[in-house]
Amino acid sequence: MVEYKDYKESPLASRPPELDPARYFQQSPEQLRLQEKRESLRARLKNEYMLKLNDPHRIGLVHDPAVTRWMMARNVNVYNNFRVTPRNLLLGLLCTAGPFLFFYKIIMTDRENKEKLIREGKYDQPFNINA
C-alpha torsion angle, residues 64, 65, 66, 68 (rounded to 10): 90
pLDDT more than 70, % of the chain: 93
DSSP for residue 62: P
Q: Which of 40, 107, 30 is nearest to 115 (CA)?
A: 107
| Least confident segment among 44-53, 70-79, 113-122 | 70-79
6 confidence band (pLDDT: 50, 70, 90): confident
Q: Alpha-carbon dihedral of residues 45, 48, 49, 53, nearest 10 degrees? A: 170
Kindly tell me if the per-residue pLDDT of 26 is higher than 90. no
